[in-house]
Amino acid sequence: MSSTPEPLRDEPPGLAVVLGGTGGIGAALANGLRRQGHEVLALGRRTEPALDYADEASVARVAQAVADELARTGLPLRRLVVATGVLHDGEIQPERSWAHLDAAALQRLFLVNAVGPALVMRHCLPLLPRQGRSVAAFLSARVGSIGDNRLGGWYGYRASKAALNQLVHTAAIELARRCPHALCVALHPGTVDTALSAPFAKTGLTVRPPEVAAQELLRVIDTLPAGSSGGFFDHQGTEVPW
């Protein structure tokens, strides 16, 4: 695998938007997209405008910033990457048993992992070009796969990522009616050396630096074939069961 993924030959660079673009893997994705020649807009909780899933108006402001950048540059929106997500946050920790289920923790996980990306779909997917290939990629997790769940536990994270997968699949169906060459997919990045996964990286588990994970994900994004919209793929491009 080359150190810098190359865009498809018939797909010139355009505007690439990375939400969660100030985090570990989000920043690495933004840097990789810049190296590909895309104009990159990386936004997150501490940027201007700021992205706050608890405030839908902030998502609308982010979408307006994207629209303004499209108008300023004259470029099409070729990449929309949503790299936001939460597994643990303060007192919120993955549940080992149903005895640990907590309503507030579940609400927080669903807000960040499912509701927020759904709002991004509402406000940002209409900005994808009607002509030409474009990709909206939402970072999910293999543990969100119902078919692949053999260990149990992690109720809230599993369920919120499963919800995200369903949202992606549903949005892909609608997107195809508007933008026939656009793809909307869920991607499993694998275990990445970030604050999200650090407390849970097991000995013997392959943990990759954000730059490596970003390189792999961009390779998948760049080579997704027609007909893959609505799918769920890992960082090697292998389809993950629902």
Question: For 9-60, what is each residue's pLDDT tens digit?
Answer: 467 899 999 999 998 999 999 999 999 999 999 999 999 999 999 999 999 9
Asked if the peptide bond before residue 117 counts as cis, ω within 30 degrees of 0, the response is no
Is the pLDDT confidence value at 71 over 90?
A: yes
Measured distance CA(16)–CA(128) in Å, rounded = 11
Residue ranges of alpha helices (H) inside the chain are 24-35, 56-73, 103-110, 116-124, 155-178, 210-223
The yes-or-no verdict on residue 86 having pLDDT over 60 is: yes
What integer pLDDT is reported at residue 126 of this predicted model? Answer: 98
Q: How high is the mean pLDDT of the chain?
A: 91
Q: Is the pLDDT of residue 1 over 50?
A: no
Question: What's the confidence (pLDDT) of residue 89?
Answer: 82
Show the domains of the chain with their CATH numbers.
15-234 (3.40.50.720)
SS (H, E, C) 3-42: CCCCCCCCCCCCEEEEECCCCHHHHHHHHHHHHCCCEEEE
What is the b/e burial string over 121-143, where b = at least 16 CB atoms within 10 angstroms of the residue's CB?
Answer: bebbbebbbeeebbbbbbbbbbb
Selection from 214, 118, 114 nearest residue 157 by Cα? 114
Output the pLDDT for position 207: 76
The pLDDT assigned to 5 comes to 44
Lowest mean pLDDT among 22-36, 142-156, 186-200: 186-200
- Number of Cβ atoms within 10 Å of the Cβ of 188: 24
d(CA 138, CA 84) in angstroms, rounded, equals 8
pTM over 0.75: yes
One-letter identity of residue 221: I
Encoding tokens for residue 80? 């929309």
| Band of residue 200 on the pLDDT scale cut at 50, 70, 90 | low
pLDDT at 192: 78
225, pLDDT greater than 90: yes
Q: Is the pLDDT of residue 197 over 90?
A: no
What is the residue type of 118? A
**Is the pLDDT score of 169 beyond 80?**
yes
Among 79, 87, 74, 72, which Cα is nearest to 29's? 79
Q: How many CB atoms lie within 10 A of CB 115?
A: 19
